[in-house]
C-alpha cells in the first residue's frame, strides 16, 4: 500500500498536479488504506496544524507587503536603493538586490517580493541592456532574502514546526541574510560590470529619495522593536505592520485607494490559501510518518551507524537540493524539518543553525527546474518564457551551494545574534 501511495504521488507530481493534491491524495491513501486510520484523524491533526497561533502572522505580513506595493511604499524603497547605487557597475541589479533586502524587512513573502520589486526594477534593467535571462534569475534568487531577513514567513513556519521562539528564529536570519545580499551584489558586479549605467543621483535627489522611503524604512523598527521589547507578539506586530501600511498608503503617500486595498486583500487571500492548503495536506504526511514511526527509525539508524554531524549536513544538502527540484519550499519544510530537527538535537546542536542551513539549500529549489516557482513568477512579471532563463540557473545554483557551505562552516553567523539578544 505504501508503494502504491508513493507511486501515485510521483505520477501526480510528473503530471504537474498542484503539490497540495499530491500530498493530500498520496498521504491520505497511505493513512486510511495502509494504516487503517479514520479520515477524522487526518482532519483533526491538519486543523490543529493550521490553527497554531503563530501562523496568524503569515497572512498579516503578506497583507502588509501587498498594501505597501499598492500604496507606494515599495516604489519609494526601490527609488532610494537606485539613488544610492544605481550608477555603480551593474548598479540597477545591485539596487534590485538591496530593494529586495528592504522589502524583506516588512513582508517576508518570497513571491510577493518578486512581484513588488520586480515589477518596478526589471523593466528598468531591460531598458539599460541587462540580459533578460539574467534579470529573471537574479530577481528569483535575490528574493530568497525574504526567507532570511526578518520578519520571514520561513522563520514562522520553522518555529511552528520546532517550537523555537520566533523571535530567536528572526534574529538567526539577520546576519546570514546580509551575507547572502553581499553574495548577490558580488555576482552582479562581476556579471554586469560592462553594462551602461545611469548618471549618479545628486545629493539632493538622494536626500529626497531617503525622505520618501523613510516611512517604509520605519516599518521594521515597528515590527522588530515591538517583538524584542516584549510589547508585541509576532502576530500582533504583523497586524500593526498592516495598519501602518494602510496609514502610509492613504495618508502619507496618498496612492492607496479602496479599490487597490481590495486588490491587496484578494492577493493576500490567494497566497495564503495556497500556503495553508499545502500545510494542511503536508500534515497528512506527518500523520503517516508519526504512526509508522519512520522519523524515529531514521534518527536511530543515523545515530547507530556512527554518522558524524558533517555527514548529516551533506545528507541535508543533497535531500534539500533533490526535493527542491520537484517540490516547493513550504512542503519541503513540512516533509523534512521534523526529521532534521530530531537528528540535530541528537547531536546536541543548535536548531537555529539548522534553520539557516536548511533555508540556504531548500531555497535553491526556487530556481531549479522543473518547479522553479521563483523563475516562473519573475518571468511572468516581464511576460517572458521562463525556459529562456534556465541557462543562467547553474551560476546561481553554484553561488547558492557555496553560500550554504559557508553557513555550515560558520554556525556563529546564525547563533551569535540570538544569543546576544537573550542575555
Render pLDDT for 320-372 as a digit per residue (tens, 0 to 9).
888 887 777 788 888 889 889 988 998 899 999 999 999 999 999 889 887 78
Query: Over pLDDT 90: what percentage of the chain?
Result: 38
C-alpha cell of residue 354:
539548522
Give dist(CA 211, CA 362) in Å, integer: 37
pLDDT score of 278 more than 60? yes
Nearest alpha carbon to residue 96 among 61, 133, 137, 138: 138
**What residues contact residue 357 under an 8 Å CB cut-off, 6+ apart?**
313, 316, 317, 404, 407, 408, 414
Q: Do 264 and 66 form a contact (C-beta atoms < 8 A)?
A: yes
pLDDT score of 4 more than 60? no
| CA contacts within 13 A on the Cβ side of 252 | 19
Give dist(CA 23, CA 342) in Å, integer: 22
The reported pLDDT for the residue numbered 135 is 94
Name the more confident of 405 and 281: 405
The reported pLDDT for the residue numbered 117 is 87
The reported pLDDT for the residue numbered 16 is 64
pLDDT score of 305 more than 90? no
pLDDT score of 34 more than 90? no
User: How far apart, in Å, do the first and last CA atoms of the chain sit?
Assistant: 51
Mean pLDDT of 410-421: 93
C-alpha cell of residue 78:
526601490
The reported pLDDT for the residue numbered 52 is 87
3-state SS of the chain?
CHHHHHHHHHHHHHCCCCHHHHHHHHHHHHHHHHCCCCHHHHHHHHHHHHCCHHHHHHHHHHHHHHHHHHHCHHHHHHHHHHHHHCCCCCHHHHHHHHHHHHHHCCCCCHHHHHHHHHHHHHHHHHHCCCCHHHHHHHHHHHHHHHHCCCCCHHHHHHHHHHCCCHHHHHHHCHHHHHHHHHHHHHHHHHHCCCCCCCCCCCHHHHHHHHHHHHHHHCHHHHHHHHHHCCCCCHHHHHHHHHHHHHHHHHHHCCCCCHHHHHHHHHHHHHHHHHHHHHHHHHHHHHHHHHHHCHHHHHHHHHHHCCCCHHHHHHHHHHHHHHHHHHCCHHHHHHHHHHHHHHHHHHCCCCHHHHHHHHHHHHHHHHCCCCCCHHHHHHHHHCCCCHHHHHHHHHHHHHHHHHHHHHHHHCCHHHHHHHHHHCC
When divided into structural domains, the chain yields a total of: 1
Cis peptide upstream of residue 366 (ω within 30 degrees of 0): no
The reported pLDDT for the residue numbered 179 is 96
pLDDT score of 221 more than 80? yes
- Name the residue range of residue 345's domain: 2-421
Give dist(CA 94, CA 78) in Å, integer: 11
Render pLDDT for 147-156 as a digit per residue (tens, 0 to 9).
899 888 889 9
The reported pLDDT for the residue numbered 258 is 95
pLDDT score of 39 more than 90? no
The reported pLDDT for the residue numbered 404 is 96
Query: Over pLDDT 70: what percentage of the chain?
Result: 92
Render pLDDT for 120-178 as a digit per residue (tens, 0 to 9).
889 989 988 899 999 999 999 998 898 899 888 889 999 998 999 999 999 999 999 99
**What residues contact residue 315 under an 8 Å CB cut-off, 6+ apart?**
none
Which residue matches cell numbers 528574493? 143
The reported pLDDT for the residue numbered 296 is 67
Give dist(CA 122, CA 387) in Å, integer: 17
Mean pLDDT of 18-26: 74
- Read off the pTM: 0.89
**Residue environment code for 411-421, b if the CB has 16+ CB neighbours within 10 A, otherwise e:** bebbbbbbeee
pLDDT score of 23 more than 90? no
Maximum Cα–Cα distance across the chain: 71
The reported pLDDT for the residue numbered 397 is 95
The reported pLDDT for the residue numbered 199 is 78
pLDDT score of 286 more than 70? yes
pLDDT tier for residue 256 given thresholds of 50, 70 and 90: very high
Cis peptide upstream of residue 317 (ω within 30 degrees of 0): no
The reported pLDDT for the residue numbered 366 is 84
Nearest alpha carbon to residue 150 among 422, 403, 414, 423: 414
pLDDT tier for residue 5 given thresholds of 50, 70 and 90: low
Name the more confident of 170 and 11: 170
C-alpha cell of residue 130:
541587462
The reported pLDDT for the residue numbered 209 is 94
pLDDT score of 1 more than 60? no
Residues in the chain: 423
**What residues contact residue 46 under an 8 Å CB cut-off, 6+ apart?**
280, 281, 283, 284
Amino acid at each position: 500500500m505504501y508503494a502504491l501511495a508513493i507511486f501515485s504521488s510521483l505520477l501526480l507530481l510528473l503530471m504537474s498536479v498542484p503539490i497540495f493534491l499530491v500530498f493530500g491524495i498520496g498521504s491520505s491513501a497511505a493513512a486510511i488504506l495502509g494504516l487503517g486510520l479514520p479520515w477524522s484523524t487526518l482532519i483533526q491533526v491538519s486543523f490543529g496544524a493550521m490553527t497554531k497561533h503563530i501562523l496568524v502572522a503569515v497572512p498579516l505580513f503578506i497583507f502588509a507587503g501587498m498594501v505597501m506595493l499598492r500604496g507606494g511604499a515599495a516604489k519609494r524603497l526601490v527609488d532610494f536603493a537606485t539613488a544610492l547605487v544605481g550608477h555603480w557597475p551593474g548598479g540597477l541589479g545591485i539596487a534590485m538586490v538591496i530593494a529586495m533586502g528592504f522589502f524583506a524587512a516588512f513582508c517576508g513573502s518570497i513571491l510577493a517580493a518578486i512581484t513588488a520589486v520586480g515589477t518596478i526594477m526589471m523593466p528598468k534593467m531591460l531598458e539599460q541592456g541587462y540580459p533578460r535571462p539574467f534579470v529573471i534569475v537574479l530577481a528569483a534568487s535575490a528574493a530568497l532574502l525574504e526567507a532570511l531577513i526578518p520578519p520571514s514567513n520561513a522563520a514562522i513556519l520553522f518555529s511552528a514546526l520546532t517550537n523555537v521562539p520566533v523571535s530567536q528564529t528572526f534574529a538567526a536570519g539577520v546576519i546570514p541574510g546580509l551575507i547572502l545580499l553581499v553574495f548577490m551584489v558580488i555576482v552582479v558586479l562581476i556579471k554586469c560590470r560592462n553594462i551602461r549605467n545611469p548618471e549618479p543621483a545628486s545629493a539632493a535627489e538622494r536626500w529626497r529619495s531617503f525622505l520618501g522611503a523613510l516611512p517604509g524604512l520605519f516599518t521594521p523598527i515597528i515590527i522588530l522593536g515591538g517583538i524584542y521589547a516584549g510589547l508585541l507578539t509576532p502576530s500582533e506586530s504583523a497586524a500593526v505592520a498592516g495598519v501602518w501600511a494602510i496609514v502610509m498608503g492613504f495618508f502619507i503617500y496618498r496612492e492607496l485607494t479602496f479599490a487597490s486595498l481590495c486588490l491587496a486583500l484578494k492577493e493576500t487571500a490567494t497566497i495564503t490559501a495556497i500556503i495553508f492548503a499545502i500545510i494542511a495536506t503536508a500534515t497528512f504526511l506527518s500523520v503517516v510518518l508519526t504512526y509508522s514511526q519512520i522519523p524515529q527509525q531514521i534518527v536511530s539508524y543515523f545515530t547507530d551507524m556512527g554518522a558524524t554531524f558533517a555527514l548529516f549536513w551533506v545528507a541535508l544538502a543533497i535531500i534539500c537540493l533533490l526535493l527542491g527540484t520537484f517540490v516547493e519550499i513550504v512542503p519541503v519544510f513540512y516533509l523534512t524539518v521534523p526529521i532534521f530537527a530530531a537528528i540535530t538535537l541528537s547531536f546536541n546542536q543548535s536548531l537555529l543553525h539548522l534553520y539557516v542551513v536548511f533555508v540556504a539549500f531548500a531555497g535553491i529549489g526556487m530556481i531549479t527546474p522543473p518547479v522553479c516557482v521563483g523563475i516562473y513568477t519573475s518571468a511572468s512579471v516581464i511576460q517572458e518564457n521562463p525556459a529562456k532563463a534556465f541557462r543562467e540557473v547553474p551560476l546561481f545554483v553554484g553561488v547558492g551551494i557555496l553560500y550554504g557551505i559557508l553557513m555550515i562552516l560558520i554556525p556563529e553567523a546564525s547563533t551569535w545574534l540570538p544569543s546576544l539578544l537573550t542575555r
